[in-house]
Chains A and B, each alone.
Chain A
Amino acid sequence: MIDILTAVVHASSGSGDGGGEAWFLLAGPLSGIALYAAIFRYYRNTDKSHRFEQETIVDQTAPITGDDVKVDEVRGTRETRIRGDNVGEHRQRVQRVR
């Protein structure tokens, strides 16, 4: 038993460069949490609501118009999306201009 624990600690503490395997040890707790959340959602359906954006008849009476102006450049970022991306979060309200 002690041999196994020693081997795991050795492996997870990063046998040398980087120690990437340590993250594997989170797989157990994370899968438990994910299962709990998935079953909770399946039974309680707390995430469900009327999808009025898709299920209401909307007629666009004129083509969408707009401006697109380049204002800046980002170089060498490690983020895969723009910070604060909310293009798909239709119900998240932003500053309302009157």
Chain B
Amino acid sequence: MTTSPESPTPPQGVDPTTTPQDVAPAAASAPQDAATDGLAAAVAAEPAGPQTENDRLHDGVNRCPKCGSTEVQLRPATGTLVCLFCRHEWSEARVEEALGLGEGLRDLRGTVIASGASDIDQAVDTVMTLKCGGCGAEVIVNTTTELTARCHWCRHVLTINEQIPNGAVPDALLPFHVTHDQAVAQIRQFASKRRLFAHARFKSEFTPENVVGVYLPYMVVDANASADVAGQGEVLIRTYTRGSGDDKKTYYDADVYRVQRHLEFTVDDLTVESSADRANIDVSRNTNNIINSILPFDTKNAVAWNAAYLVGFTSEKRDQDVSAIQPRVEDQLLSIARSKAQASVTAYDRGVRWEQESLDVRGTRWVSMYLPVWLYSYYHVESGRGMVHYIAVNGRTGETMGSVPLARGKLLLAALAAGTVVESLVVAFLVATA
């Protein structure tokens, strides 16, 4: 708080307890200096990230620990892996506790990158050849869309679990909890509420049973940051009117303040897309915003990697490194800071115009995860331009969002009809009162 003589007296009509002046004392410069020092130290010696490779597993045949079968898959109701031969159920360890991801946020310094989130080496092929441990056959797996395969000779299930720098095996994953039937019901309900103006072809071809379970790649980021915002705010002093009759006009008097705020905060599990295609959100060209809008996931329940969780599902490989995602994360941190700052400027009842902002990221921790999404896709061509419309269901919470192609002609007619009715009523009113 500024205590200099130029500090204004609280304006009339504003609760003194909530005047702009009533903020906590200004931060000493020490934390800023400490931050700068911390960042410099971090740059000098970047801390090593946790190694997340599942040592018990390797590429190829991975057997049920009880009976030795490779027929292992996810049981969505319990979130566990189940052996289809002996019904033995087990889970991989939660990474939150195993890696201590919920701890030490205030002490984060530098850029800590878990081993599964490390930079992608473009020279490493995404198509991998696995040698079947059952019969010796070679099986090809395209890691862009799958991380499991069945040996075409001996029928063993082969899985990819070793972290090589092609972005295919992440640090952790969140198993599907919402079943196929539940996803179909959610999508059907979503679309049924939007039947009236839906495009006729979409309605006739609507087949929610075709929904596909996909593990999509995300970076889950913890951050320790501070932000400064500055601008101008106005406090209403007086409202009055001048003139009379139709010329009566309202005028306002206001005091203008220079406003500055400093925020210190940590962010836990900020989740951002790590596939360039999914991160490209442009509502005029794609419906990726739909998939973005079903966030967040309960990432605290993510488990260590085991490709057996992916049996029966498809996946999308990560193709972006930390450096490519960092600007988006910084942008989101600034938005979070602005959101938090809003609560401290409520006394400016005529609003605040922020003009400058700065962000000091002291530390971040990056963990790559596959998160479960049920995706219903419908390709629709409109005005010569094709677009895939998604209806997406969060594979954990069931949150559903979608884009339904419109029957534009029908919608135009409805809008025209509504406008005509309203206009007729207005004309009738004007005639009656003329």
Contact = CB atoms under 8 A, between A and B. Distances in A.
Contacts of B296: 50, 52, 55-56
A69 B31 CA distance: 23
Contacts of B423: 25, 27-29
B215 interface: no
Contacts of A83: 353
Q: Which of B224, B267, B295, B434 has the most C-beta atoms of chain A within 10 angstroms of its own C-beta?
A: B434
Interface string A25-57: 101111111011001101111101110111111
B253 interface: yes
A96 B23 CA distance: 24
A69 to B, nearest CB: 5
A57 B6 CA distance: 38
B431 A45 contact: no
B407 to A, nearest CB: 10
A10 B434 contact: yes
A61 B268 CA distance: 12
B335 A52 contact: yes
Given A59-B268, A87-B342, A70 B257 contact: yes
B283 interface: yes
B360 to A, nearest CB: 10
B335 A58 contact: no
Interface residues of B, number: 109
Given A58-B340, A94-B357, A12 B281 contact: no
A66 to B, nearest CB: 4
A66 B259 contact: yes
A48 B281 CA distance: 11
Given A28-B426, A43-B406, A60-B264, A70 B356 contact: no
Given A35-B415, A57-B267, A49 B292 contact: yes
Contacts, number: 297
A67 B27 contact: no
Interface residues of A, number: 77
Given A74-B234, A74-B256, A96-B357, A82 B426 contact: no
Given A7-B434, A67-B2, A79-B252, A39 B348 contact: no
Given A29-B423, A97-B357, A82 B232 contact: yes
Q: DSSP majority for the A interface?
A: mixed
Contacts of A28: 419-420, 422-424, 426
B258 A71 contact: yes
Contact of B336 (A24, A52, A72, A75): A52
Contact of B290 (A45, A69, A71): A45
Contacts of B358: 96-98
A13 B406 CA distance: 39
A26 B396 CA distance: 47
B334 interface: yes
Interface string B241-257: 00001110111111111
Contacts of B233: 68, 82, 87
Contacts of A49: 281, 289, 292-293
B335 to A, nearest CB: 4
Interface string B287-323: 1011011111000000000000000000000000000
Contacts of B66: none
A70 B403 contact: no
B262 interface: yes
A2 interface: no
B404 A73 contact: no
Given A24-B430, A82-B233, A77 B260 contact: no
Contacts of A10: 434
B258 A61 contact: no
B274 to A, nearest CB: 14
Contacts of A29: 419, 423
B292 A64 contact: no
Interface of A: 4, 7-8, 10-12, 15, 17-18, 20-21, 24-25, 27-33, 35-36, 39-40, 42-46, 48-50, 52-88, 90-91, 93-98
19 contacts: A8-B431, A18-B247, A21-B430, A31-B419, A32-B416, A39-B197, A39-B414, A50-B292, A55-B296, A57-B268, A58-B340, A59-B265, A64-B261, A68-B21, A68-B259, A69-B2, A70-B6, A71-B232, A86-B353
Given A43-B194, A67-B2, A87-B233, 15 more contacts: A4-B427, A8-B430, A17-B246, A20-B246, A35-B415, A49-B292, A61-B224, A62-B264, A64-B263, A70-B257, A72-B255, A73-B254, A76-B251, A76-B253, A96-B358
Interface of B: 1-2, 4, 6-8, 20-21, 23-27, 31, 105-106, 194, 197-198, 224, 228, 231-234, 245-247, 249-271, 281, 283, 287, 289-290, 292-296, 331-332, 334-336, 338-345, 348, 350-359, 401-406, 411-412, 414-416, 418-420, 422-424, 426-427, 429-431, 433-434
